[in-house]
Amino acid sequence: MGDIIIKNGYVFDPINNINGEVMDIFIKDGKVVEEYDGKDAKVIDARGKTVMPGGVDSHSHVAGAKVNRGRIMRPEDHYQWVRSKTDIAHSGTGYTVPSVYLQGYEYATMGYTTVFEAAMPPLEARHTHEEMKATPIVDMGAYLVFGNNWFIMRYLREGDIEKAAAYVSWMLRAHKAYGIKCVNPAGVESWGWAKNVHSLDEPNIHFEITPCEIIRGLAEVNELLGLPISLHLHANNLGHPGCWEITRESLKIPSDLEPQMKIEGEQDFEKRTQTVYLAHAQFNAFGGTSWRDFESGAKGIVDYVNSADHVVIDNGAVPFGPATVMTGDGPAIFDLYKLVGGKWSNSDIELECGAGVLTFTYLKSNPVHSVQWAIGLELILMIKDMWKCILTTDHPNGGPFVKYPSLIAWLMSEKARNDTLETCHKWASEKSEIATIDRELDLYDVAIITRANPAKTIGIAYRKGHLGVGADGDVTIYDIDPTTLDSSNYTEIEKKFRIAEYTIKEGEIVAHKGEITSAPTGRIFYTESKVNEEIERDVLADVREWFKYYTLGFENYPVDERYLRRPTPIKVNMEG
């Protein structure tokens, strides 16, 4: 952890309302501090350059069994994208699903210092942590999948919210996970019998619980426990024409809940305001009734998000090109496979969840893909308040995270969008509103959707996503002079965001102009919440009883801290 002073840069730090002011940033022992003389500190002159907090990715599939399956299914992905070994860095390969080393390096060269894994199945937690442990540089955490978990469905069916909360609390602690992920609630369980659910009030097989009841229950559990992030929702009917409507209705379910964050020892910081975080909204913003009359349904989602204060979305954009589609939503992947073919794999994870993986390429010549590209951009450009949205590709579902700079260019430049509209299928302009939007984001907006808001949304803005005193010394310097920035020169924007001039992690330069200069070990954040001990004892008795249906011994189920690198527990709700 280093001491470093960044001088004279144009600073974009939205959490502290700093919009392009020229100022100096002082880092000591890895943290942002007040001005000091800095005799022994390294000094970087950032004159004429853009300074932002390190990027924060709040939804990316980077570790665990299904990611690894994606690597195995795409050998062709591995010879086209290679980073050679250096004195500091391992070699690595892979484009849509890079190896663990490569993904750490590529995030760092792009200016990102924090990445959260979007879906960790409890039974695969050990594998997920092993891969996170091997991913260099970036701080990480993982959301645990609960939306079709047998214990959750049973407790919620019985109306026992306290037991559901005690179970979640124990599970997050046992598997060293950060928050609650809910994927196709009720539907993935029915998928075990080759079925799905298609409306919020349709009960699933055997448990007879509806998506609405699961979303409501998990959102209540989330706020009861006081977790840092809200319920993280992958809504039902994902990837099907017309799914925007069920998505909007799903977002309404936790609208009356109050966000409760009870992080011990952290009082004064930018707290989350949402009670639901909709993941990769693009895949749930499809309009039309079939693929024949397919169109963007973004407006329906955006109108609701603009009118509601309890929702944050990440866009899950499609930048065109190869992707590997992977999700806990097995039936959605199967439907896509039936439609397009390709290499498909599917798995069921005992009493907990499932997953599907499919190789995929988004083509400019394809009418549906072109509309998907437009939807991803609409879902940011049409939202009035940038604090309600986050930039992602749902890596690697919409495309790999290394394409974020292309998305930033499209969001900042109307010319970039118009030039793409000329080269892609006409459905993009005919079946969406993208061609009529003249909004261009500025650097402040970009800083919100790539660092400040993801940090706020996942409840970690006391140390990430800003450059105030006490923040982690994670800083990115881009070779962009805001005073001469020309939005029509979008290839330049893309280039500059792709390769940061400097990426600094905890005061140490980790990347410089695309080269890895240091590869420190990042932290793993997870949540330790506390509930009534008696209820937790009762819950554990239930879990032990049902564990006869698992292929694993109960004692081998929890993940020990030694599987984690720099384990950093976040204590919540400790006042009991």
Between 393 and 406, name the residue whose CB sits nearer to Zn ion.
393
Residue 268's identity, in one-letter code, is D
User: Which of 379, 166, 143 is CA-nearest to residue 281?
Assistant: 379
Residues 71 to 130 in contact with Zn ion, rule: CB under 5 A: 118
Between 96 and 169, name the residue whose CB sits nearer to Zn ion.
96
Between 247 and 420, name the residue whose CB sits nearer to Zn ion.
247
Min. distance of Cβ 73 from Zn ion in angstroms?
17
User: Which of 39, 32, 98 is CA-nearest to residue 402?
Assistant: 98
Between 54 and 239, name the residue whose CB sits nearer to Zn ion.
239
Min. distance of Cβ 523 from Zn ion in angstroms?
22
Min. distance of Cβ 30 from Zn ion in angstroms?
30
Min. distance of Cβ 331 from Zn ion in angstroms?
15
Between 274 and 284, name the residue whose CB sits nearer to Zn ion.
284
Min. distance of Cβ 329 from Zn ion in angstroms?
9
Q: Cα separation of 139 and 468, whole Å? A: 19
Between 324 and 503, name the residue whose CB sits nearer to Zn ion.
324
Q: Which stretch binds Zn ion (CB under 5 A): 210-218, 265-273, 394-402, 536-544?
A: 394-402
Token couple for 447? 């800083």
Q: How far is CA 285 from the centre of its chain?
A: 17
Q: Which stretch binds Zn ion (CB under 5 A): 73-81, 240-248, 393-401, 486-494?
A: 393-401
Min. distance of Cβ 124 from Zn ion in angstroms?
15
With residues binned 3-state (H G I as helix, E B as strand, rest as coil), the percentages for the chain, rounded to 5, are: 35, 25, 40
Report the alpha-carbon angle 242-243-244, nearest 5: 95
Q: Cα separation of 156 and 158, whole Å? A: 5
**Should residue 394 be labelled a site residue for Zn ion when binding is judged by CB under 5 A?**
yes
Query: Number of C-alpha atoms within 13 angstroms, CB side, residue 451?
Result: 30
Q: Cα separation of 252 and 249, whole Å? A: 5
Q: Cα separation of 424 and 367, whole Å? A: 8
Between 67 and 156, name the residue whose CB sits nearer to Zn ion.
67
Token couple for 337? 């496979």
Min. distance of Cβ 60 from Zn ion in angstroms?
8
Min. distance of Cβ 455 from Zn ion in angstroms?
19
Token couple for 505? 């992690």
Min. distance of Cβ 140 from Zn ion in angstroms?
15
Q: Cα separation of 326 and 319, whole Å? A: 17
Min. distance of Cβ 59 from Zn ion in angstroms?
6
Q: Which stretch binds Zn ion (CB under 5 A): 10-18, 77-85, 202-210, 388-396?
A: 388-396
Between 396 and 507, name the residue whose CB sits nearer to Zn ion.
396
Between 326 and 516, name the residue whose CB sits nearer to Zn ion.
326
Nearest 5°: phi and psi at 569?
-70, 140
CB distance 198 to 236 below 8 Å: yes
Token couple for 75? 């050998």
Between 14 and 239, name the residue whose CB sits nearer to Zn ion.
239
CB distance 111 to 476 below 8 Å: yes
SS3 141: strand
DSSP assignment of 178-205: -EEEEESTTHHHHHTTT----STT---T
| DSSP letter (8 states) at residue 13 | E
Q: How many residues form the binding site for Zn ion (CB under 5 A)?
A: 2
Q: Which stretch binds Zn ion (CB under 5 A): 237-245, 389-397, 465-473, 481-489?
A: 389-397
Min. distance of Cβ 105 from Zn ion in angstroms?
22
Between 117 and 474, name the residue whose CB sits nearer to Zn ion.
117
Residues 32 to 61 in contact with Zn ion, rule: CB under 5 A: none
**Should residue 314 be labelled a site residue for Zn ion when binding is judged by CB under 5 A?**
no
348 CB-near residues (< 8 Å, 6+ apart):
191, 192, 330, 354
CB distance 401 to 407 below 8 Å: no
Token couple for 17? 């309302």
Min. distance of Cβ 283 from Zn ion in angstroms?
9
Length of the chain counted residue by residue: 576
Q: Cα separation of 495 and 493, whole Å? A: 5
**Should residue 333 be labelled a site residue for Zn ion when binding is judged by CB under 5 A?**
no
Min. distance of Cβ 564 from Zn ion in angstroms?
22
Token couple for 457? 């949304």
User: Which of 106, 131, 101, 99 is CA-nearest to residue 117?
Assistant: 131
Min. distance of Cβ 2 from Zn ion in angstroms?
34
Between 277 and 490, name the residue whose CB sits nearer to Zn ion.
277
Q: Cα separation of 250 and 245, whole Å? A: 9
Q: Cα separation of 229 and 364, whole Å? A: 36
Between 121 and 473, name the residue whose CB sits nearer to Zn ion.
121
Token couple for 153? 């469905």
Q: Cα separation of 161 and 220, whole Å? A: 8
Binding mask 345-384 for Zn ion (x = CB under 5 A): ----------------------------------------
Q: Which stretch binds Zn ion (CB under 5 A): 106-114, 180-188, 225-233, 392-400?
A: 392-400
Between 3 and 394, name the residue whose CB sits nearer to Zn ion.
394
Which sign does the torsion angle of CA 64, 244, 406, 308 carry? negative
Between 57 and 394, name the residue whose CB sits nearer to Zn ion.
394
Min. distance of Cβ 111 from Zn ion in angstroms?
21
CB distance 358 to 325 below 8 Å: yes
- Contacts with Zn ion, residue ranges (CB under 5 A): 118, 394
